Each structure stands twice: as C-alpha cells, then as structure tokens.
Structure 1
Amino acid sequence: MTTSTHQEGATAAGERSAVPAIETSRLVKTFGGTRAVDGIDLVVPAGTVYGVLGPNGAGKTTTVRMLATLLRPDGGTARVFGHDVVREADAVRSRVSLTGQYASVDEDLTGTENLVLLGRLLGYRKAAARERAASLLEAFGLTEAADRQVKHYSGGMRRRLDIAASILNTPDLLFLDEPTTGLDPRSRNQVWDIVRAVVAHGTTVLLTTQYLEEADRLADRIAVIDRGKVIAEGTPGELKSSVGAGSVHVRLRDRRQREQARRVLARALETEVQLEADPVALTARIMNGDARASVQASRALAELDAAGVVVDDFSLGQPSLDEVFLALTGHPADTAEQTDKEVAE
C-alpha cells in the first residue's frame, strides 16, 4: 500500500509539471431559468492555492461540484489534470478530494473511529488505518480529543477533522469549499496553517471563500466570481493594482472637520473620497502610478495641515480586496444579490 501510493505520487508529480490542475472553458450550469454558472474560464496551475472569491450565491459551490464530478455541466468543458470531468469521471475522482461547507464526519463516532472507518473504506489494512489516523490527529492537533465523540468537538475541531479525512490518501487536488465559514478567528488561522502545510507537500488546493482576507492570505492567484461569471483574475497584487495605485486612509481628531477634510482630499487627490462608518475616518483611491501616488498623498497631507484639519493617522497602502470587489462589482461582497441556486451540500 505504501509503495503504491508513493509511486502514484511520483507519477502525479510528473504530470503536475506539464498539465494544469484545472482547466475550464465556457463552463455552464443552469437550474431552471437561472444560470448559476455562466461561462466560466479557469486555468489553475498545479502545486498552488487558487482562490475562487465571491459572495454567497456567486456560483462557487456549483463550480466546485462540477469539477469534482458531482454535477454534470450543461455547457462548456472542464478538465482535471487533463481528464474530462464528464467522459473520464473515474480518473478525475482518483485524483481529487472534496471538503464541503459542512462537516461530513459522523458525530456519534470518535475522531479516531471516523478516520479509521474512512481509511478502511479506502483500502487500508486495519493496523495501517489506525496508524494513519493517529498520524493525522497528531498533525491536526486533535490527539487529546481522539477518543471523544465528534458531537462534543468545537466547530474548529470538526473542521480540522473534516480536512484530515479529506487527505487520508493524499490527493493531487483538494477542493476546499468555504472551509472556515462560521469559525472563530483562532480556528480560522489553524485551518489556514493546515492549507499551507497541505500545499507544501505537493497538493494543489482550489479554495472557495467569501472572506476577502482569506483569499489574500492563502491564494497564489484569485478568480473573482459574481453572478456566475469570472469578472477578474490574477494575483492578489495584480487585482489590487487594477483598481488604483494605492489607498489613502485618514483619521481625524475632530469629527466636525470631516466634511472639510473630504473637500480638501478630493481636490488634492483628484478623486472621490469615501466617508467610512467610523465618524472620523475617510478613504480615497489614487488612480495614478505608484510614484505619483506618493507625491499626491504627501501633497494631500500638507493641504490638510494648511487648512487647519488635525489628522491623528494618515496612511498610504495598496487597496484592500474589499475595495477591489466593490470597484469591480459596484457592491460590497456581503450584499451581493443571490442568483445561484446552490444544490444541497
């Protein structure tokens, strides 16, 4: 068993160097009269984390389910390591693993029992299954909870166990569909560490998320999806630079000066200034090149000082992915209209 897995891994590594992990062309899925996925084109390089970013209802889960052979496309093509997801579904399934939005482990079994059961179903002998389960539980920080029923696990612990189950046999491609939804910040960071470790061992990860920070932290490249279409694609840095060279963030000492500060900044920066929820905060995007951005920002700060506006904090940085999404779609990520009739998870 161990030798076979090693040989398969070596073969897969060779293939990964020549063939994209995922390649789709005009991929379509409809539910009734709704196009949940509307002509998506993706190329995912092997050995990377590829983020699919979008709000609830954007078409992320439907796309993943088609790539994992759980749904049949209504149009277009999709290949996983060169294998067509419709005509060569068995070959695709042998290379992938999927962790959906909700834990798929049995709550009445312990952590060890869940992993041993799945290991046996995957063809491990009993001793090998127990050894693999113990190794994964230790790697995911679950050894102390190994003999506890999963229904007594926290949300973060269940998520870690779910991902451990997905890599009992190390897949060439791991689909993580919104893996940190509902988790607290500490558990989210633990899942992020696990994703980095999985990729370090050669697995390609397709990560769907509605958390902009998550995509920024983990993904080598990101496809932004809205209403079933890819509206932008690139590295996090490329996406940020596509909407401006930088963002100026200002916090005032006196909220009563905010309107005056807005007028001064709009004139100095030659751009629209956004009033933040914080009553003393303002933000503006600078659309010129990087060198010009720093000059404009310095001039804006000087003009605020000349106008008698007291500034407590002033910074110039790259736009956030939140600002990218707003610029690309015209609406924040968390208020998008739901158009994707996602099938049951």
Structure 2
Amino acid sequence: MEIKYIIDTLFALFAMTLIIFMVPGFAMLEAGLVRTKNVTAVLTVNVMIYAVASLAFMLIGYSLAFGSWDNDGMSKWAAFLFQMAFVGKTINIMSGGVSERARIIPLIFFTVIMAAIIYPLVVNVTWGANFLAGTALDISSMHDLAGCTVIHSTGAWALLAAILIIGPRRRRYGKDGKVRVIPASNIPLVVLGALLLWIGWFGFNGGSVGSISSKENADLVALTIMNTNTAGLAGAVIVALMMYLKYKKFDITMILNGALGGLVSVTAGADIFDMYAPIYIGAIGGVIVVYGVALFDKLKLDDP
C-alpha cells in the first residue's frame, strides 16, 4: 500500500511538471503570433496568469472545487499541485485570444475571479464535491477525462465573451469587411510554443488517469498518451492536406493549430478509445479548426 502511495504521488508530480511546460508553451506561441511591439506584454500576462491563478486556486478555489484536501491514494499536496497546474490553462485560452488589445490589470482581476470562483464551480459539478448531486442538473456522470469541457470549453466561452466585449484589433478588418492579415512576428517561437503544449498534453491527459501503480493503470496511462499523440498527428496531417489542396502550399501556423485542435478533441475520452479512433477524432478536430478560423473571420471575431 505504501509503495502504491509513493508511486502514484511521484506520477502526479511528474504529470504536473509536464503540464507546467504548457506555461512557456502558451507564452512562446502567443509571443510568436503577435507583433513585436506587444511581445513583452504577452509574456508578462502569461507569467502573471500562472502566478495569480495558482495562488487564487490554492487559497480559495481548490476547497470550493473539491470540498476537502484529503486524499487517500497519494499525497494530498501532490493531488493539489496536479489540479493547480490545470487552472491557469483555462485562463490562457481566453487571454491568448485577446492578445494585443486587453490590458494587464483587468486580465489579472479576471484571473482571480476565474481561478477562485468560476473554474472551481465548474470542477465542483463535474470532477469534485458536486453540490448539484441528486438534482436534475447533476452532470457528474459525464465522462471528461482531462477537461475537454471543464477546461477547454470553459475557457472558450470566456474567450467568446471577451472578444464580443473588447472587439477586434485595430485595422484587422477593413470597412468593406475584408480580413487584413497581421503576420506572425516569430515563426520559430510559434513552433516551439505549440510543441511545448503538445508535450504538456501528455501530462494533461496521461496524468488524469490518476494512478500508474498497477499493471492495468500503467497500460491505461500508456494508451491514453498514445491516443493523445495520435489525435495531434491526425489533426496536423489533415490540415496540411487541406492547405495544400486549396492553396498549393503549407501553412505552418495552421498545421500547428490543426494539431492543437486534434489534441483538444481527444481530451475527454483519450482513456476509453481504441488505438484507431483518435485518428478520426483528431482529423475532425483539424477540419473544425480550418472552418472555424474562416467562420471567425466572417463574423469579425478576432482571435490571433
């Protein structure tokens, strides 16, 4: 029992470390996509989100989400650190989408509210203490391994609200509605950031299995990570094919977005799919990215 406890504690800490690599991942991705004059502001926002969100979740959010710090399967500190690594990602989804036009101080205030109240309440009714248990609104039976809904959907709805309130960047759209391309300032940073996110996803999904101390759980963790990687590969490949067939050239930023779309798509069920299903799931995620970008531009929703 003690060995199992130690192994699962170390596993949670290792997964948490991989997830923390997503902090520089988001920072590099966003810094590479924005104009040079805004790089420092973007990096500052990402560091502050990690720091402020982690503290707010530690002081308020974790107890609101789970009701108690007790954990029988591993160190309660390791369990907390693993969950803490998640919280900033929800806010990063929103902050990256309003790059170059959102002020740092309001973003910090939003981070506190999101990490201390909004995100913990979503966790509470899905993974946590569940104050809706026994009511018609109880959704705790929903299978969401690593937060396809809890994290990515919550962050995306927050982003949509922010985009509608703040509006697009200056000169992003012409008076005739035409899209004006704002080129990325540093493609190598974009690639580095996306690949760091990809690596972090292995801790994100694999760590969410919760245990690796038995043969069955070890196999499940390995399958989960393989499915995660497969979906990212499929998303990248399908977008590359779509770009080449339409434009006769490859677009690295769209290919990387396709990979990220595939990774998001498989996050809910990476532990329950067979080894082939993520190919279709990741490809569908990549296709959604391509048409989603076009739809956003048509609606003048500016997400760098």
TM-score (norm 2): 0.27
TM-score, structure 1 as length reference: 0.25
Pick the structure with greater CA Rg.
Answer: 1
Which structure carries more relative contact order (alpha carbon 8 Å, separation 6+)?
2
